[in-house]
Structure 1
Amino acid sequence: MNGKIALVTGASSGIGAATAARLAQAGWTVFGTSRRGPQVDGAGFRMLALDVTSDASVAAAVEAVIRQAGRIDLLVNNAGFGVAAAGAEESSIAQAQAVFDTNFFGAVRMTRAVLPHMRAQGGGRILHIGSVLGFLPMPYGALYAASKHAIEGYSESLDHELRNWDIRSVVIEPAYTRTPFDANLIEPDAKLDAYHAVRTAVVRRIQDIMAGADGPEVVAEAVLKAVTVARPKLRYTAGGLAARLRFLRTFAPAAMLDAGMRKDLQLA
Protein backbone atom coordinates (compact mmCIF):
# COMPACT_ATOMS: atom_id res chain seq x y z
CA MET A 1 0.00 0.00 0.00
CA ASN A 2 3.02 2.34 0.10
CA GLY A 3 2.36 5.50 -1.86
CA LYS A 4 -1.42 5.32 -1.55
CA ILE A 5 -3.13 8.47 -0.25
CA ALA A 6 -6.28 8.39 1.90
CA LEU A 7 -8.54 11.19 3.14
CA VAL A 8 -10.77 10.31 6.12
CA THR A 9 -13.42 12.74 7.37
CA GLY A 10 -14.41 12.93 11.02
CA ALA A 11 -11.12 11.38 12.15
CA SER A 12 -10.72 13.04 15.55
CA SER A 13 -12.31 10.11 17.41
CA GLY A 14 -14.36 6.95 17.08
CA ILE A 15 -14.70 5.15 13.77
CA GLY A 16 -12.88 7.87 11.84
CA ALA A 17 -9.83 7.83 14.11
CA ALA A 18 -9.70 4.03 14.19
CA THR A 19 -10.00 3.86 10.40
CA ALA A 20 -7.32 6.48 9.79
CA ALA A 21 -4.95 4.74 12.22
CA ARG A 22 -5.56 1.30 10.65
CA LEU A 23 -4.94 2.59 7.14
CA ALA A 24 -1.72 4.28 8.30
CA GLN A 25 -0.62 1.03 9.94
CA ALA A 26 -1.24 -0.75 6.62
CA GLY A 27 1.09 1.65 4.82
CA TRP A 28 -1.22 4.37 3.54
CA THR A 29 -0.39 8.05 3.82
CA VAL A 30 -3.48 9.29 5.64
CA PHE A 31 -5.00 12.73 6.06
CA GLY A 32 -7.70 12.89 8.72
CA THR A 33 -10.08 15.79 9.20
CA SER A 34 -11.94 17.44 12.03
CA ARG A 35 -14.04 20.56 12.44
CA ARG A 36 -11.71 21.52 15.28
CA GLY A 37 -8.75 21.54 12.92
CA PRO A 38 -5.24 20.11 13.23
CA GLN A 39 -4.82 20.63 16.97
CA VAL A 40 -3.09 17.25 17.33
CA ASP A 41 -2.19 14.75 14.62
CA GLY A 42 -3.54 11.25 15.01
CA ALA A 43 -1.72 7.95 15.41
CA GLY A 44 0.35 7.89 12.25
CA PHE A 45 -1.73 10.35 10.27
CA ARG A 46 -2.01 14.10 9.74
CA MET A 47 -5.04 16.19 10.65
CA LEU A 48 -6.65 18.94 8.59
CA ALA A 49 -9.45 21.36 9.37
CA LEU A 50 -12.70 20.53 7.57
CA ASP A 51 -16.38 21.35 7.91
CA VAL A 52 -18.25 19.08 5.50
CA THR A 53 -21.24 21.44 5.49
CA SER A 54 -19.14 24.19 3.87
CA ASP A 55 -18.33 24.12 0.15
CA ALA A 56 -15.33 26.38 0.71
CA SER A 57 -13.96 24.24 3.57
CA VAL A 58 -14.33 21.06 1.52
CA ALA A 59 -12.55 22.59 -1.46
CA ALA A 60 -9.72 23.88 0.75
CA ALA A 61 -9.17 20.51 2.45
CA VAL A 62 -9.09 18.56 -0.80
CA GLU A 63 -6.75 21.12 -2.35
CA ALA A 64 -4.45 20.85 0.68
CA VAL A 65 -4.17 17.07 0.22
CA ILE A 66 -3.52 17.42 -3.52
CA ARG A 67 -0.92 20.10 -2.86
CA GLN A 68 0.92 17.99 -0.26
CA ALA A 69 0.48 14.49 -1.71
CA GLY A 70 -0.34 14.97 -5.38
CA ARG A 71 -3.32 12.60 -5.48
CA ILE A 72 -6.18 11.01 -3.51
CA ASP A 73 -6.64 7.26 -3.88
CA LEU A 74 -9.23 6.79 -1.16
CA LEU A 75 -11.94 8.96 0.38
CA VAL A 76 -13.66 7.71 3.52
CA ASN A 77 -16.85 9.67 4.18
CA ASN A 78 -17.28 9.19 7.91
CA ALA A 79 -18.28 12.59 9.36
CA GLY A 80 -21.77 12.57 10.81
CA PHE A 81 -23.99 13.06 13.84
CA GLY A 82 -27.45 12.14 15.09
CA VAL A 83 -30.33 13.40 17.17
CA ALA A 84 -30.74 11.88 20.63
CA ALA A 85 -33.51 9.25 20.69
CA ALA A 86 -36.68 11.09 19.79
CA GLY A 87 -39.83 10.75 17.79
CA ALA A 88 -39.52 12.03 14.25
CA GLU A 89 -42.19 14.60 15.08
CA GLU A 90 -39.96 16.01 17.81
CA SER A 91 -37.41 17.51 15.38
CA SER A 92 -38.11 20.66 13.40
CA ILE A 93 -37.55 20.85 9.66
CA ALA A 94 -34.43 22.92 10.35
CA GLN A 95 -33.04 20.15 12.56
CA ALA A 96 -33.84 17.50 9.97
CA GLN A 97 -32.04 19.58 7.35
CA ALA A 98 -29.01 19.93 9.63
CA VAL A 99 -28.74 16.14 9.99
CA PHE A 100 -28.87 15.65 6.23
CA ASP A 101 -26.49 18.53 5.56
CA THR A 102 -23.74 16.69 7.43
CA ASN A 103 -24.61 13.00 7.05
CA PHE A 104 -25.69 13.02 3.41
CA PHE A 105 -24.82 16.27 1.68
CA GLY A 106 -21.46 16.33 3.46
CA ALA A 107 -20.63 13.05 1.73
CA VAL A 108 -21.91 14.43 -1.57
CA ARG A 109 -19.72 17.55 -1.22
CA MET A 110 -16.64 15.48 -0.46
CA THR A 111 -17.31 13.06 -3.29
CA ARG A 112 -17.81 15.83 -5.83
CA ALA A 113 -14.58 17.48 -4.69
CA VAL A 114 -12.38 14.39 -5.07
CA LEU A 115 -13.89 12.88 -8.21
CA PRO A 116 -12.19 15.21 -10.74
CA HIS A 117 -8.82 14.16 -9.28
CA MET A 118 -9.71 10.46 -9.27
CA ARG A 119 -10.93 10.57 -12.86
CA ALA A 120 -7.78 12.40 -13.95
CA GLN A 121 -5.52 9.83 -12.26
CA GLY A 122 -7.56 6.92 -13.61
CA GLY A 123 -8.80 5.31 -10.42
CA GLY A 124 -9.80 5.59 -6.81
CA ARG A 125 -12.16 4.32 -4.18
CA ILE A 126 -14.84 6.08 -2.14
CA LEU A 127 -16.05 4.46 1.08
CA HIS A 128 -19.11 5.71 2.91
CA ILE A 129 -19.49 4.80 6.58
CA GLY A 130 -23.13 3.88 6.54
CA SER A 131 -25.01 1.76 9.05
CA VAL A 132 -27.35 -1.18 9.38
CA LEU A 133 -29.85 1.66 9.69
CA GLY A 134 -29.28 2.16 5.99
CA PHE A 135 -31.39 -0.96 5.40
CA LEU A 136 -33.34 -1.20 8.67
CA PRO A 137 -35.78 1.19 10.34
CA MET A 138 -34.95 2.82 13.66
CA PRO A 139 -37.91 3.94 15.75
CA TYR A 140 -36.95 7.10 17.63
CA GLY A 141 -34.02 7.54 15.27
CA ALA A 142 -35.86 8.20 12.03
CA LEU A 143 -33.78 11.13 10.80
CA TYR A 144 -30.47 9.34 11.27
CA ALA A 145 -31.83 6.19 9.63
CA ALA A 146 -33.19 8.24 6.73
CA SER A 147 -29.79 9.86 6.15
CA LYS A 148 -28.12 6.42 6.09
CA HIS A 149 -30.77 5.07 3.70
CA ALA A 150 -29.91 8.01 1.44
CA ILE A 151 -26.21 7.12 1.57
CA GLU A 152 -26.98 3.55 0.48
CA GLY A 153 -28.88 4.69 -2.60
CA TYR A 154 -26.34 7.35 -3.48
CA SER A 155 -23.33 5.05 -3.15
CA GLU A 156 -24.73 2.17 -5.19
CA SER A 157 -25.91 4.50 -7.96
CA LEU A 158 -22.57 6.30 -7.96
CA ASP A 159 -20.67 3.04 -8.21
CA HIS A 160 -22.31 2.20 -11.53
CA GLU A 161 -21.52 5.65 -12.89
CA LEU A 162 -17.82 5.54 -12.02
CA ARG A 163 -16.62 2.07 -12.98
CA ASN A 164 -15.49 3.26 -16.42
CA TRP A 165 -12.74 5.25 -14.65
CA ASP A 166 -11.79 2.36 -12.33
CA ILE A 167 -13.40 4.19 -9.41
CA ARG A 168 -15.59 2.25 -7.00
CA SER A 169 -18.10 3.45 -4.39
CA VAL A 170 -18.73 1.20 -1.37
CA VAL A 171 -20.79 1.36 1.83
CA ILE A 172 -19.58 0.00 5.17
CA GLU A 173 -22.47 -1.06 7.42
CA PRO A 174 -21.70 -1.24 11.17
CA ALA A 175 -24.27 -2.04 13.83
CA TYR A 176 -24.01 -0.55 17.33
CA THR A 177 -20.44 0.67 17.86
CA ARG A 178 -18.85 1.91 21.10
CA THR A 179 -17.57 5.39 20.25
CA PRO A 180 -17.87 8.95 21.61
CA PHE A 181 -20.66 9.41 19.02
CA ASP A 182 -23.14 10.09 21.83
CA ALA A 183 -21.16 13.21 22.75
CA ASN A 184 -22.13 14.72 19.39
CA LEU A 185 -25.83 13.89 19.63
CA ILE A 186 -28.09 16.91 19.65
CA GLU A 187 -31.32 17.07 21.60
CA PRO A 188 -34.58 17.19 19.65
CA ASP A 189 -35.70 20.79 19.37
CA ALA A 190 -39.47 20.18 19.51
CA LYS A 191 -39.98 17.67 22.34
CA LEU A 192 -43.54 16.52 23.05
CA ASP A 193 -44.87 15.04 26.29
CA ALA A 194 -46.70 12.38 24.28
CA TYR A 195 -43.39 10.68 23.44
CA HIS A 196 -41.67 11.07 26.79
CA ALA A 197 -42.29 7.62 28.31
CA VAL A 198 -41.38 5.57 25.25
CA ARG A 199 -38.47 7.87 24.34
CA THR A 200 -36.98 7.38 27.81
CA ALA A 201 -37.39 3.60 27.61
CA VAL A 202 -35.72 3.45 24.19
CA VAL A 203 -32.78 5.51 25.48
CA ARG A 204 -32.26 3.06 28.37
CA ARG A 205 -32.46 0.08 26.03
CA ILE A 206 -29.91 1.55 23.61
CA GLN A 207 -27.56 2.32 26.49
CA ASP A 208 -27.76 -1.33 27.57
CA ILE A 209 -27.01 -2.54 24.04
CA MET A 210 -24.11 -0.11 23.60
CA ALA A 211 -22.41 -1.47 26.73
CA GLY A 212 -21.70 -4.71 24.87
CA ALA A 213 -21.18 -3.29 21.38
CA ASP A 214 -18.14 -3.76 19.15
CA GLY A 215 -15.37 -1.17 19.23
CA PRO A 216 -14.56 1.03 16.23
CA GLU A 217 -11.61 -1.21 15.30
CA VAL A 218 -14.12 -3.71 13.88
CA VAL A 219 -15.31 -1.07 11.42
CA ALA A 220 -11.72 -0.10 10.58
CA GLU A 221 -10.96 -3.71 9.62
CA ALA A 222 -14.00 -3.78 7.33
CA VAL A 223 -12.74 -0.60 5.67
CA LEU A 224 -9.30 -2.11 5.13
CA LYS A 225 -10.86 -5.19 3.57
CA ALA A 226 -12.97 -3.08 1.22
CA VAL A 227 -9.97 -1.08 -0.01
CA THR A 228 -7.59 -3.99 -0.50
CA VAL A 229 -9.73 -6.33 -2.64
CA ALA A 230 -9.41 -5.87 -6.39
CA ARG A 231 -13.16 -6.09 -7.00
CA PRO A 232 -15.04 -4.74 -4.00
CA LYS A 233 -18.64 -5.53 -3.21
CA LEU A 234 -21.19 -2.73 -3.09
CA ARG A 235 -21.45 -3.04 0.69
CA TYR A 236 -19.66 -4.67 3.61
CA THR A 237 -21.14 -5.32 7.03
CA ALA A 238 -18.85 -4.69 10.01
CA GLY A 239 -19.09 -7.16 12.88
CA GLY A 240 -21.20 -10.20 13.66
CA LEU A 241 -24.40 -8.38 14.62
CA ALA A 242 -24.39 -6.35 11.41
CA ALA A 243 -23.91 -9.51 9.36
CA ARG A 244 -26.82 -11.23 11.13
CA LEU A 245 -29.08 -8.23 10.62
CA ARG A 246 -28.22 -8.06 6.91
CA PHE A 247 -29.02 -11.78 6.61
CA LEU A 248 -32.35 -11.34 8.38
CA ARG A 249 -33.26 -8.31 6.27
CA THR A 250 -32.56 -10.33 3.13
CA PHE A 251 -34.15 -13.65 4.01
CA ALA A 252 -36.48 -13.34 7.04
CA PRO A 253 -40.20 -12.66 6.56
CA ALA A 254 -40.97 -8.96 7.00
CA ALA A 255 -43.44 -9.62 9.82
CA MET A 256 -40.82 -11.63 11.77
CA LEU A 257 -38.22 -8.88 11.40
CA ASP A 258 -40.76 -6.24 12.39
CA ALA A 259 -41.78 -8.14 15.53
CA GLY A 260 -38.17 -8.85 16.47
CA MET A 261 -37.19 -5.20 16.19
CA ARG A 262 -40.10 -4.05 18.37
CA LYS A 263 -39.32 -6.71 20.96
CA ASP A 264 -35.63 -5.80 21.04
CA LEU A 265 -36.40 -2.11 21.61
CA GLN A 266 -39.15 -3.03 24.09
CA LEU A 267 -41.80 -1.14 22.18
CA ALA A 268 -45.41 -1.88 23.11
Structure 2
Amino acid sequence: MISVVIPLYNKEASIAQSLKSVLSQEYDDFEIVIVDDGSTDGSVGVVEAMNDPRIRLIKQENGGPSKARNTGVKNAKGEWILFLDADDEMLPESLRMFRDAINSHPEFNFIDFSWYADNGQHRIIADNAKEGKIKNPFKSYYQGKINPRTGSFILTKQLALQCLFDENLRRFEDDEMLFKVYNVANIYYNPKPIMVCNQVFAAASKGRKDIKEDFLGHLNFSGKSFWERMCLYKLFLGERPNYDVQCRSLYPGLYKRYDLLILHKLLNKIKL
Protein backbone atom coordinates (compact mmCIF):
# COMPACT_ATOMS: atom_id res chain seq x y z
CA MET A 1 0.00 0.00 0.00
CA ILE A 2 1.02 3.60 -0.68
CA SER A 3 0.30 6.14 2.04
CA VAL A 4 -0.13 9.66 0.65
CA VAL A 5 0.78 12.04 3.49
CA ILE A 6 -0.59 15.59 3.19
CA PRO A 7 0.17 18.32 5.75
CA LEU A 8 -2.72 20.77 5.88
CA TYR A 9 -2.64 24.35 7.09
CA ASN A 10 -5.06 26.97 5.77
CA LYS A 11 -5.39 25.57 2.24
CA GLU A 12 -9.15 25.89 1.89
CA ALA A 13 -8.82 27.14 -1.70
CA SER A 14 -6.74 24.25 -3.00
CA ILE A 15 -7.09 21.13 -0.84
CA ALA A 16 -10.16 19.77 -2.66
CA GLN A 17 -8.40 19.81 -6.04
CA SER A 18 -5.30 18.18 -4.56
CA LEU A 19 -7.39 15.41 -3.01
CA LYS A 20 -9.35 14.85 -6.23
CA SER A 21 -6.09 14.39 -8.12
CA VAL A 22 -5.29 11.46 -5.82
CA LEU A 23 -8.78 10.00 -5.42
CA SER A 24 -9.26 9.88 -9.21
CA GLN A 25 -6.24 7.61 -9.74
CA GLU A 26 -7.07 4.22 -11.27
CA TYR A 27 -4.57 2.49 -9.02
CA ASP A 28 -6.49 2.01 -5.79
CA ASP A 29 -4.14 0.42 -3.23
CA PHE A 30 -3.56 3.63 -1.30
CA GLU A 31 -4.68 5.68 1.66
CA ILE A 32 -4.52 9.44 2.21
CA VAL A 33 -3.32 10.58 5.62
CA ILE A 34 -4.14 14.25 6.08
CA VAL A 35 -2.61 15.93 9.11
CA ASP A 36 -4.35 19.20 9.90
CA ASP A 37 -1.78 21.43 11.54
CA GLY A 38 -4.19 23.70 13.40
CA SER A 39 -5.87 25.33 10.40
CA THR A 40 -7.90 28.45 11.16
CA ASP A 41 -9.83 28.58 7.88
CA GLY A 42 -12.32 26.13 6.38
CA SER A 43 -9.75 23.55 5.25
CA VAL A 44 -10.92 20.81 7.62
CA GLY A 45 -14.53 21.29 6.58
CA VAL A 46 -13.59 20.81 2.91
CA VAL A 47 -11.84 17.52 3.75
CA GLU A 48 -14.66 16.24 5.93
CA ALA A 49 -17.24 17.07 3.26
CA MET A 50 -15.51 14.74 0.79
CA ASN A 51 -16.46 11.80 3.03
CA ASP A 52 -14.21 9.21 1.36
CA PRO A 53 -13.15 6.09 3.34
CA ARG A 54 -9.66 6.29 1.82
CA ILE A 55 -9.06 9.57 3.67
CA ARG A 56 -7.89 9.61 7.29
CA LEU A 57 -7.86 13.01 8.97
CA ILE A 58 -5.59 13.61 11.96
CA LYS A 59 -5.79 16.89 13.85
CA GLN A 60 -2.98 18.44 15.88
CA GLU A 61 -1.99 21.83 17.24
CA ASN A 62 0.09 23.97 14.92
CA GLY A 63 3.65 22.68 14.86
CA GLY A 64 4.73 23.34 11.29
CA PRO A 65 4.93 21.23 8.12
CA SER A 66 7.77 19.05 9.41
CA LYS A 67 5.84 17.91 12.46
CA ALA A 68 2.72 17.34 10.37
CA ARG A 69 4.59 15.16 7.87
CA ASN A 70 6.29 13.20 10.66
CA THR A 71 2.90 12.59 12.28
CA GLY A 72 1.63 11.31 8.95
CA VAL A 73 4.56 8.95 8.51
CA LYS A 74 4.21 7.53 12.02
CA ASN A 75 0.49 6.89 11.48
CA ALA A 76 0.77 5.58 7.92
CA LYS A 77 -0.35 2.01 7.22
CA GLY A 78 1.45 1.69 3.89
CA GLU A 79 4.94 0.35 3.32
CA TRP A 80 5.62 3.26 0.91
CA ILE A 81 5.25 6.97 1.67
CA LEU A 82 4.34 9.68 -0.82
CA PHE A 83 4.39 13.25 0.49
CA LEU A 84 2.07 15.72 -1.22
CA ASP A 85 1.52 19.38 -0.39
CA ALA A 86 -2.06 20.58 -0.02
CA ASP A 87 -1.83 22.91 -3.03
CA ASP A 88 -0.20 20.48 -5.49
CA GLU A 89 -1.71 17.84 -7.78
CA MET A 90 -0.82 14.37 -8.95
CA LEU A 91 -1.03 13.73 -12.69
CA PRO A 92 -3.28 10.91 -13.93
CA GLU A 93 -1.66 7.46 -13.60
CA SER A 94 0.92 8.77 -11.11
CA LEU A 95 0.29 6.11 -8.47
CA ARG A 96 0.37 3.37 -11.08
CA MET A 97 3.68 4.74 -12.36
CA PHE A 98 5.08 4.69 -8.83
CA ARG A 99 3.86 1.12 -8.28
CA ASP A 100 5.29 -0.06 -11.63
CA ALA A 101 8.65 1.44 -10.72
CA ILE A 102 8.55 -0.21 -7.28
CA ASN A 103 7.77 -3.60 -8.82
CA SER A 104 10.34 -3.25 -11.61
CA HIS A 105 13.16 -2.05 -9.35
CA PRO A 106 12.71 -3.71 -5.94
CA GLU A 107 16.31 -2.99 -4.91
CA PHE A 108 15.60 0.76 -4.60
CA ASN A 109 14.07 2.39 -1.52
CA PHE A 110 13.67 5.88 -3.04
CA ILE A 111 12.11 6.48 -6.46
CA ASP A 112 12.04 9.95 -7.98
CA PHE A 113 10.26 11.33 -11.04
CA SER A 114 10.39 14.74 -12.67
CA TRP A 115 7.57 17.26 -12.17
CA TYR A 116 5.93 20.36 -13.56
CA ALA A 117 6.13 23.83 -12.04
CA ASP A 118 2.90 25.62 -12.88
CA ASN A 119 2.57 29.38 -12.55
CA GLY A 120 0.14 29.63 -15.42
CA GLN A 121 2.02 27.30 -17.75
CA HIS A 122 3.66 23.93 -17.23
CA ARG A 123 7.46 23.96 -17.03
CA ILE A 124 9.25 20.68 -16.53
CA ILE A 125 11.87 20.53 -13.77
CA ALA A 126 15.22 18.69 -13.85
CA ASP A 127 17.62 18.60 -16.78
CA ASN A 128 18.05 14.85 -17.11
CA ALA A 129 16.57 12.58 -19.75
CA LYS A 130 18.38 9.47 -18.50
CA GLU A 131 16.45 6.92 -16.47
CA GLY A 132 18.21 4.72 -13.93
CA LYS A 133 20.19 4.57 -10.72
CA ILE A 134 21.52 7.86 -9.34
CA LYS A 135 25.09 7.02 -8.39
CA ASN A 136 25.96 10.34 -6.74
CA PRO A 137 22.77 12.11 -5.58
CA PHE A 138 24.54 15.25 -4.35
CA LYS A 139 26.36 15.68 -7.66
CA SER A 140 23.15 15.12 -9.64
CA TYR A 141 21.23 17.52 -7.40
CA TYR A 142 23.94 20.19 -7.66
CA GLN A 143 23.90 19.92 -11.46
CA GLY A 144 20.11 20.08 -11.64
CA LYS A 145 19.80 16.58 -13.05
CA ILE A 146 17.47 15.63 -10.22
CA ASN A 147 15.31 17.97 -8.17
CA PRO A 148 13.10 15.93 -5.86
CA ARG A 149 10.24 17.70 -4.13
CA THR A 150 7.26 16.56 -2.11
CA GLY A 151 4.97 14.83 -4.58
CA SER A 152 7.65 13.75 -7.06
CA PHE A 153 9.21 10.95 -5.03
CA ILE A 154 8.19 7.92 -3.06
CA LEU A 155 10.22 6.21 -0.34
CA THR A 156 9.82 3.24 1.94
CA LYS A 157 8.29 3.88 5.34
CA GLN A 158 11.45 2.47 6.89
CA LEU A 159 13.57 5.09 5.11
CA ALA A 160 11.08 7.85 5.96
CA LEU A 161 11.30 6.94 9.65
CA GLN A 162 15.09 6.90 9.39
CA CYS A 163 15.14 10.37 7.80
CA LEU A 164 12.33 12.23 9.55
CA PHE A 165 11.88 15.96 9.02
CA ASP A 166 13.51 18.33 11.50
CA GLU A 167 10.51 19.69 13.40
CA ASN A 168 12.35 22.91 14.26
CA LEU A 169 12.41 23.90 10.58
CA ARG A 170 9.64 25.63 8.65
CA ARG A 171 11.57 26.53 5.50
CA PHE A 172 13.71 24.26 3.32
CA GLU A 173 12.79 21.47 5.74
CA ASP A 174 12.37 19.20 2.72
CA ASP A 175 15.94 19.87 1.57
CA GLU A 176 17.25 19.07 5.05
CA MET A 177 15.38 15.75 4.97
CA LEU A 178 16.48 14.96 1.42
CA PHE A 179 20.12 15.65 2.23
CA LYS A 180 19.85 12.94 4.90
CA VAL A 181 18.23 10.64 2.35
CA TYR A 182 20.97 11.22 -0.24
CA ASN A 183 23.53 9.84 2.21
CA VAL A 184 21.77 6.53 2.85
CA ALA A 185 19.24 5.78 0.10
CA ASN A 186 19.41 3.71 -3.05
CA ILE A 187 17.85 6.11 -5.56
CA TYR A 188 16.16 5.43 -8.90
CA TYR A 189 15.18 8.26 -11.26
CA ASN A 190 12.64 8.42 -14.06
CA PRO A 191 12.47 11.63 -16.16
CA LYS A 192 8.72 11.47 -16.78
CA PRO A 193 6.76 14.21 -14.97
CA ILE A 194 4.43 12.83 -12.33
CA MET A 195 2.93 15.83 -10.50
CA VAL A 196 2.25 19.56 -10.72
CA CYS A 197 3.57 22.07 -8.22
CA ASN A 198 0.92 24.80 -8.28
CA GLN A 199 2.99 27.93 -7.74
CA VAL A 200 -0.13 30.03 -8.30
CA PHE A 201 -1.42 28.85 -4.92
CA ALA A 202 1.96 28.60 -3.21
CA ALA A 203 2.99 31.37 -0.85
CA ALA A 204 6.06 33.40 -1.74
CA SER A 205 9.23 31.79 -0.49
CA LYS A 206 10.32 34.37 2.02
CA GLY A 207 12.89 34.06 4.75
CA ARG A 208 11.79 33.46 8.32
CA LYS A 209 12.32 36.09 10.98
CA ASP A 210 14.52 33.61 12.82
CA ILE A 211 17.06 31.88 10.56
CA LYS A 212 17.03 28.92 12.96
CA GLU A 213 13.64 27.98 11.48
CA ASP A 214 15.34 27.66 8.09
CA PHE A 215 17.71 24.92 6.93
CA LEU A 216 20.03 27.79 5.98
CA GLY A 217 20.58 28.42 9.68
CA HIS A 218 22.03 24.94 10.23
CA LEU A 219 24.62 24.45 7.49
CA ASN A 220 27.41 22.14 8.59
CA PHE A 221 30.26 21.51 6.15
CA SER A 222 32.29 19.36 8.55
CA GLY A 223 32.83 15.75 7.47
CA LYS A 224 30.78 16.14 4.30
CA SER A 225 31.68 14.84 0.86
CA PHE A 226 32.84 17.28 -1.84
CA TRP A 227 29.49 17.34 -3.64
CA GLU A 228 27.46 17.70 -0.46
CA ARG A 229 29.59 20.68 0.53
CA MET A 230 29.01 22.22 -2.90
CA CYS A 231 25.25 21.71 -2.49
CA LEU A 232 25.35 23.44 0.88
CA TYR A 233 27.41 26.29 -0.54
CA LYS A 234 24.98 26.67 -3.46
CA LEU A 235 22.10 26.95 -0.99
CA PHE A 236 24.07 29.52 1.00
CA LEU A 237 24.75 31.67 -2.07
CA GLY A 238 21.15 31.56 -3.23
CA GLU A 239 19.46 32.29 0.09
CA ARG A 240 21.84 34.57 2.02
CA PRO A 241 20.15 37.76 0.69
CA ASN A 242 17.11 36.76 2.79
CA TYR A 243 19.22 36.79 5.97
CA ASP A 244 22.12 39.13 5.32
CA VAL A 245 22.79 40.11 8.95
CA GLN A 246 22.15 36.66 10.41
CA CYS A 247 24.24 34.89 7.76
CA ARG A 248 27.20 37.20 8.30
CA SER A 249 27.01 36.37 11.99
CA LEU A 250 26.66 32.60 11.49
CA TYR A 251 28.99 32.10 8.53
CA PRO A 252 31.59 34.89 8.42
CA GLY A 253 34.15 32.53 6.91
CA LEU A 254 31.98 31.67 3.92
CA TYR A 255 32.00 35.31 2.80
CA LYS A 256 35.78 35.05 2.48
CA ARG A 257 35.87 31.70 0.68
CA TYR A 258 36.62 33.03 -2.77
CA ASP A 259 38.05 29.63 -3.66
CA LEU A 260 34.59 28.10 -3.21
CA LEU A 261 33.00 30.91 -5.20
CA ILE A 262 35.41 30.44 -8.11
CA LEU A 263 34.96 26.66 -7.98
CA HIS A 264 31.18 27.06 -7.93
CA LYS A 265 31.30 29.29 -11.01
CA LEU A 266 33.63 26.92 -12.85
CA LEU A 267 31.49 23.88 -12.11
CA ASN A 268 28.40 25.67 -13.39
CA LYS A 269 30.22 26.75 -16.51
CA ILE A 270 31.72 23.41 -17.53
CA LYS A 271 28.82 21.21 -16.25
CA LEU A 272 30.89 18.17 -15.34
TM-score, scaled relative to structure 1: 0.29
Normalising by structure 2, we get a TM-score of 0.29
Greater helix percent: which structure? 1
